[in-house]
Amino acid sequence: MSSTSTTARPEIGTHDRRRRRAAMAGFLLVPLAIAGCTGDSGGSGAPAGTSAAAAEASSSPDGSAAGSPAQTLQESYQQVISDVLPSVVEIRTTNGLGSGVVLDEDGNIVTNAHVVGTATEFEVQFANSATSYPATLVGTYPQNDLAVIRVEGAPELQPATLADSDAVEVGTLVLAMGNPLGLSSSVSDGIVSATGRTVSEPPSEAAPAGATLPGTIQTSAAINPGNSGGALVNMQGEVIGIPTLAATSPAGGGGAAPGIGFAIPSNTVKDVAPQLIEDGEVTDTNRAALGVTVTTVADSSGQPAGVGVVGVEPGGAAEAAGLREGDVITAVGDQRVSSTADLSAVLADLEVGQTVDVTVQRAGQEQTLQVELGELAVS
């Protein structure tokens, strides 16, 4: 095997599901783009979760009889929007705009790390208001694509309620609220399509090496540019996730893959945001790590064939297990890994302190080492 010429990338780890109680099953191998590079605009067709109600309503003479399922659903939507939209803000930087969700009456607002980028000052505008207020950066954690900013001088802040995202079920009706394409206070509807997805973000200003997000919620609600950092809300008016990614279609040349978007679960927000607010940084990552610096290596045909170890953290999990520089990792447990992205996805399903078999190629021989996973250091 020959090493690629790419710069060595730091290892990416995962949340500790036992400590955070987050469900993180499986991983999704699809190309992704920053939220808003795909999907329909709000209101462009009924989602799967509303089709039955709409069909039943249309069977009546006027389609809108009092107490009909369609009317009841409509009223529920309107109530949730009325309750939650005041908690969703537009965030503007010199490089663009995104969305955010009010966390508390102190003015702390959670958003995506890729929304804030490297900026430290922002303008925040609330729903149905022409007034904007200054805000400053509290802290950012690109490894989970989350950040917190704090707005100053805004009156009557209405904090959102964060749900227990572990309890979210496939088929749950949801609304995505944000500012897609700069259209403030926009809402789109859909369902939860899947939970526990592990997805990879492309490189961004906040995370030049990209990021791996474990346990995300997949939704059919439209996510477009500007939705990032907004709210994915259930019909109880609770925020179950922060929209962050939309899928792109390889067959379409990287174009839109409608109806496939992803949100960071609210339980991840509950873990990361308080640390950012208290310390300005994440001090306890709750993400498993091997304790190595790695790069993708290729075979003689140029195809990814393993993960080369280019550095071993002194005193870390890998060193304790006997991994060395020059080893090529080809499997973790029963999962084959051909690239650093594969390794990130596999680690996203593991826990800090868990012991796993790591298969390596060393001097032409295959070896299996047992590694007790450590915790990813704050970068």
Among 228, 258, 281, residue at a domain's last position = 281
Does 174 lie in the same domain as 258? Answer: yes
At 84 the pLDDT is 96
Q: Out of 16, 40, 145, 189, which one is annotated catalytic?
A: 145
Does 185 lie in the same domain as 266? Answer: yes
Residue type, 347: L
Question: Which residue range(s) make up the domain with 44?
Answer: 20-281
Does 120 lie in the same domain as 255? Answer: yes
Residue 165 annotated in active site: no
Does 269 lie in the same domain as 240? Answer: yes
Residue 342 annotated in active site: no
pLDDT, one tens digit per residue, over 60-96 is: 434 445 568 878 999 999 999 999 999 999 999 988 8
Q: Out of 15, 16, 87, 114, which one is annotated catalytic?
A: 114
Q: What is the CATH number of the domain that holds 268?
A: 2.40.10.120
At 37 the pLDDT is 31
pLDDT, one tens digit per residue, over 21-55 is: 333 333 333 334 333 332 333 333 333 333 333 33
Among 217, 250, 281, residue at a domain's last position = 281
Does 62 lie in the same domain as 12? Answer: no
Torsion, Cα 273 274 280 283, to 10 degrees, reads: -100
Number of domains in the chain: 2
In a 10 Å sphere around its CB, with 0-12 CB exposed, 13-18 middle and 19+ buried, how is residue 225 labelled? buried
- pTM score, whole prediction: 0.76
Does 366 lie in the same domain as 269? Answer: no
Tokens linked to 269:
């927000």
- Output the CA angle 296-302-303, nearest 5 degrees: 65
Does 145 lie in the same domain as 269? Answer: yes
Torsion, Cα 194 196 197 201, to 10 degrees, reads: 130
CA distance 257 to 31: 10
Does 252 lie in the same domain as 216? Answer: yes
Does 227 lie in the same domain as 336? Answer: no
Residue 228 annotated in active site: yes
Q: Is the pLDDT of residue 310 over 90?
A: yes
Does 114 lie in the same domain as 48? Answer: yes
At 62 the pLDDT is 42
Does 329 lie in the same domain as 267? Answer: no
Residue burial 108-119, b: 16+ Cβ < 10 Å; e: rest: bbbbbbbbbbeb
CA distance 261 to 63: 31
Which residue did the predictor score with more confidence, 286 or 255? 286
Among 258, 281, 304, residue at a domain's last position = 281
Q: Out of 68, 188, 220, 228, which one is annotated catalytic?
A: 228
Q: What is the CATH number of the domain that holds 336?
A: 2.30.42.10
Does 51 lie in the same domain as 7? Answer: no
